Amino acid sequence: MVRGSMATEASSSPADFDIGADQNLPSILFPKGRPERDFGDQPECFIDLNLDQAVASIAAGRDEYDIKTFFYEPLQHVDDVIYRQEVFRDLDDKELRSKILAFGEGMRGVRDLLKSAARASYEMERQAWFLDAAHAFSDLVKNLTIALCSLPVTSRGFFRLRRYLDGYVHSETFSALSREADAIKDALAEVRLSIVIGADGFQVKKPAEEQDYSAAVERTFQKFRQGQVKNYKVSPAADRFMNHIEAAIVAFAGELYPDLFKRLADYCAANSEFIDPVLTSFDREVQFYLAYLDHTEKLAAHGLPFCYPDTRSSLEDTDVFAHDAFDIALAEKLVRTKGVVVVNDFMLHGRERILVVTGPNQGGKTTFARMFGQMHYLATLGCPVPGRKAKLILADAIWTHFEREENLESQQGKLQGDLVRIRRILLRANPNSIVLLNEIFTSTMLEDAVYLSRRVMTELIRRGVLAVWVTFIEELANFSEETVSVVSGVRAADPTVRTFKIERKAPDGLSHAMSIARKYGVTRACLMERLRS
């Protein structure tokens, strides 16, 4: 599904990887173990980049896992990114993914059984639900261990989990949990009760040695059978709770088999917290990968490519590029409405650091800037990115300044608000930062907008940031060697029709001017028509 290569110099094979001091706390998301602190809120750039929409779609149907917060925590080290790319590659294997999905479904079932235990009205009923949950959990752990040992996992994440599970299933704690659950369930299955129903009630006792006449009765009445008859046998629902009569029968059973039911009670008391926290964490964390792969495969089914980007610090390599890239949030909407997704390329080489995007309105300029930001943010999560091939920087921050409506409750005017936001960005930006500017300074005169834009551009270049600047000021396109001009395309035969392709070329302003002239009916043809009339 995805293509591309990882930076091999930073990767490690399972054979020479040492878990180290945190070997009892493996995390499928974090190589050094999950951070103890809580994750932060949604990053500021999410709304401008429509990543809030993309993450909402990705996480849909997995509310119980709260995986959105995992998307709020970008990684800071290249090796951490590669760690996740390795896990994604393992999960590209359909068989492994099916085993992980089965584990997740089973864990959901275990939680449901424990919820039933908590809701049960009778103590012995609660114990029965609890026993079922513990038994199901032990089977899940065994099956997951077998799957990871039999399948060719290569990622450090799954290798670490496999090693942990191998130790866990052979521990006395787990062995006792599993062995005793099996034994108690087998013993309970052998319990037989005789219920004698009378006019004033019923009695429960151990069955006497007596002959079962049910088969003989069925044979006797078989000759009177005429055609197919309805089967009135009823099996109790798996999630049905006991009524007071059933509870009374079980209570009598407890008196008839006191040792067995005491054994059950002791088991429940001794294993009140039987779910291993590492597996609880894994069950949640792996949903990050499964949800993202589910989402991208829906898009890939419509011919949209994803790849593992070569992700590096900008201090190591300043070159960035992407082929056949697209806006992941917009693509999801277009696929849903059977629209056409337009892919684009970008490239910055050597001293080039800033893409200046010009062209007619509604030509895909803002979408291009969003795409650039989305790809870099998803790369910091270790995710496959939308595109056929990509080389990106590991950004320490993505700063966005997109056009916004003036806040009437604020004491600032729109221009002052723009300046305050820009200053805040420039004070924090560095060579590992990405800055995305979209149509700023539109509320002032052109002369002032040009002056302010040149000042901001000078500061961006001085700080060495990677940037995309969508602007109507074409003078910025050839500002310096660090700037690269790209233009949103129009159809040659009809400049009013946008192609949504962003091309690397110098701006000429003609297509935009012609588009405006046609919109307001002041082209030569329109004027001549008016004169003739």
The pLDDT, as a whole number, for residue 12 is 38
Between 14 and 255, the more confident residue is: 255
The mean-pLDDT minimum among 40-54, 123-137, 500-514 falls in 500-514
Burial class for 252, CB neighbours closer than 10 Å (0-12, 13-18, 19+): middle
Residue 134 structure tokens: 């513990």
pLDDT for 92-118, tens place per residue?
999 999 999 999 999 999 999 999 999
Gap between the terminal Cα atoms of the chain: 61
Between 464 and 237, the more confident residue is: 464
Average of per-residue pLDDT across 273-301: 96
What's the Rg (C-alpha) of the chain? 33
The pLDDT, as a whole number, for residue 196 is 81
Long-range contacts for 296-304 (Cβ within 8 Å, ≥24 apart)? 296/1, 296/2, 296/384, 296/386, 297/1, 298/332, 298/335, 299/328, 299/331, 299/332, 299/335, 299/386, 300/1, 302/335, 302/341, 304/331, 304/335, 304/341, 304/343, 304/386
The pLDDT, as a whole number, for residue 7 is 36
Q: What is the DSSP string of 181-222?
A: HHHHHHHHHT---EEEEETTEEEEEPPPS----HHHHHHHHH
Between 7 and 412, the more confident residue is: 412
The pLDDT, as a whole number, for residue 35 is 76
Q: Is the confidence at residue 406, as pLDDT, over 60?
A: no
The mean-pLDDT minimum among 9-13, 149-153, 323-327, 388-392 falls in 9-13
Give SS3 for 38: coil
Q: Is the confidence at residue 253, as pLDDT, over 80?
A: yes
pLDDT bin (cut points 50, 70, 90) of residue 318 is: confident
pLDDT bin (cut points 50, 70, 90) of residue 2 is: low
Average of per-residue pLDDT across 168-181: 96
Question: pLDDT over 70 for what percent of the chain?
Answer: 87
pLDDT bin (cut points 50, 70, 90) of residue 411 is: very low
pLDDT bin (cut points 50, 70, 90) of residue 512 is: low
Give SS3 for 40: coil
The pLDDT, as a whole number, for residue 409 is 46
Q: Is the confidence at residue 53, as pLDDT, over 80?
A: yes
Say which CATH topology domain 302-532 has. Answer: Rossmann fold (3.40.50)
Residue 471 structure tokens: 């602007």
Q: Is the confidence at residue 212, as pLDDT, over 80?
A: no
The pLDDT, as a whole number, for residue 524 is 73
Q: Is the confidence at residue 232, as pLDDT, over 70?
A: no
Contact in structure between 484 and 356 (CB atoms under 8 Å): yes
Q: Is the confidence at residue 514, as pLDDT, over 70?
A: no
Average of per-residue pLDDT across 2-31: 52
Contact in structure between 94 and 142 (CB atoms under 8 Å): no
Q: Is the confidence at residue 515, as pLDDT, over 60?
A: no
**Ramachandran sector of residue 428 (left: φ over 0; alpha: ψ -120 to 50; beta: rest):** alpha
What backbone torsions phi and psi does residue 72 show, to the nearest 5 degrees?
-95, 0
In whole angstroms, what is the distance from residue 293 CA to residue 283 CA? 16
Q: Is the confidence at residue 464, as pLDDT, over 80?
A: yes
pLDDT for 329-340, tens place per residue?
999 999 999 999
Contact in structure between 29 and 70 (CB atoms under 8 Å): yes
pTM here is 0.85
Average of per-residue pLDDT across 489-505: 85
Give SS3 for 263: helix
The mean-pLDDT minimum among 233-237, 459-463, 477-481 falls in 233-237
pLDDT for 220-229, tens place per residue?
877 777 666 6
Half-sphere exposure of 475 (CA within 13 A, CB side): 11
The pLDDT, as a whole number, for residue 194 is 83
The pLDDT, as a whole number, for residue 467 is 97
The pLDDT, as a whole number, for residue 428 is 93
Q: Is the confidence at residue 46, as pLDDT, over 80?
A: yes
Average of per-residue pLDDT across 157-184: 96
Average of per-residue pLDDT across 317-336: 95
The pLDDT, as a whole number, for residue 40 is 79
The pLDDT, as a whole number, for residue 15 is 37
Residue 274 structure tokens: 């039987």
Q: What residue segments make up the domains of the chain, in order of their start?
A: 75-208+241-291, 302-532
pLDDT bin (cut points 50, 70, 90) of residue 490 is: confident
The pLDDT, as a whole number, for residue 526 is 77
Average of per-residue pLDDT across 303-315: 90
Q: Is the confidence at residue 317, as pLDDT, over 50?
A: yes
Between 361 and 77, the more confident residue is: 77
User: Rounded mean pLDDT of the chain?
Assistant: 87
**Ramachandran sector of residue 135 (left: φ over 0; alpha: ψ -120 to 50; beta: rest):** alpha
pLDDT bin (cut points 50, 70, 90) of residue 517 is: low
Average of per-residue pLDDT across 130-137: 97
Largest CA distance in the chain: 115
The mean-pLDDT minimum among 206-215, 321-330, 471-480 falls in 206-215
In whole angstroms, what is the distance from residue 220 CA to residue 218 CA? 5
pLDDT for 368-399, tens place per residue?
999 999 999 999 999 999 999 999 999 999 99
In whole angstroms, what is the distance from residue 140 CA to residue 134 CA? 10
Strands 433-438 and 397-402: parallel
